[in-house]
Structure 1
C-alpha cells in the first residue's frame, strides 16, 4: 500500500492545493459574475427585432460555443498585452464563454413568463424599462436559478484549463508537486477530493432549487 499511496506526501501537498483552491474559487466566482450579467444582456439583445443586431450576435455566440474553451484561453492569452495578468485573462474568458450558454437559459426563462404578464404591464401603462425590471426579469431569473447553478458547477470543474495560461490553480499546483517529488497519485487524488468537497454540496443546493422552483 505504501508503494501506491503515501499519506505524508498527501499532507505535504495539501497546503499548496488549498492555495490553488482559493484561486480556483475566485476564478469561478468572478467568471460567474461576468457570465450572469453578460448572458442576460445577450438574451435581451437577441430579442430585438433588428437583424443587424441579432445576426452578428448569433454568429459570435455560435463561434464561442463551437470552439474549445482551452483554445480560447490560449488564443486570448497570446494576443493579450503583457501587463494583463493571466488570472484576469482566465476569469474573463471563462465568463464570456459561459455567458453564451447562460444566454439560452435566460431566453428560456423570459419566454416562460406568461403572456398575460406582458399584457397586464401594457394595460397599466408601464414603460418598457419598468416592465422588464419590475415584472418580467424577476420572474424569469427566478426560473433560471437552477440552470445558472449547474453552469457554475461546470465552470468550477473547467478551471483546470487555466494551467495552460500559467495560472497556478489546484491542478497546476498538483502537477508542480508531482514533477518535484515524482508523486502524482497523492496530489491528483487530493485535487479530485477537493473538487468533490466543493461541487457536491453545491449540486445538492442546485437540486433543492430545482425542486423548489419547479
Structure 2
C-alpha cells in the first residue's frame, strides 16, 4: 500500500505522482496527522476516510475541490480536526560539501533552552526538534514532521529583519541535517518576505498542503 511517506520520499528524489488530474487517498500517517497535499495535476488526501466519502465530495478531475472550504470543512467535521493553514511546501537538498556546511553554520550554535513560543509550537507538530540560535537572536529549528519528513522553521527578530539573516538561517538548516537528506519548509503564500527568503536560500516550491490538527 502506498503511503504519504512514500510519496514525499519520491518527491525528494524528483519523482512526483503523475499529473493525471487524479486523487490519491492514503492513510493518515499518524494519529497526529491528517492532510490534503496539492501537487501539479494531482491531489493526495492523507486521511482515514472511505474512498466513497471522498468521491461524493470531489467531482472527477476537479483539483480545486479538495483544497476549497466545502471539502476541507467536511473533512474537519469527519475527523474532529481543524485546518491549521494552507501552506506552500518548499524543498531543498542538504548541503553536502563540507566547506559549504561549515560556512552556512558559522555563528550558529545549538540551544538547550527551548522556552520560546516558536519552539513550543514546533514540539506540537514535530518530533526530534533541535533548536539553534545566532548572534542576532535568530532561531532555526529542525525536526521530524509530516510523515517523518525533515522540516525546518526560522525566526528572525523584528529589529534584525531585512538584513539577510533569514536567508542565512534558511541556508543553515540545509547544513544542520545529514548530507544525504532533504529539508522541507512550509510557508504561508501570503508571507511574501518569508517565501522570498527560502527561495533565495535554494528551496524550490513543490506543492501546497492543508494540515488538519487537533
With normalisation by structure 1, the TM-score equals 0.22
Higher relative contact order (CA 8 A, sep 6+): 1
With normalisation by structure 2, the TM-score equals 0.22
* The structure with more strand, counted as a fraction of residues: 2
User: Max radius of gyration: which structure?
Assistant: 1
* The structure with more helix, counted as a fraction of residues: 1
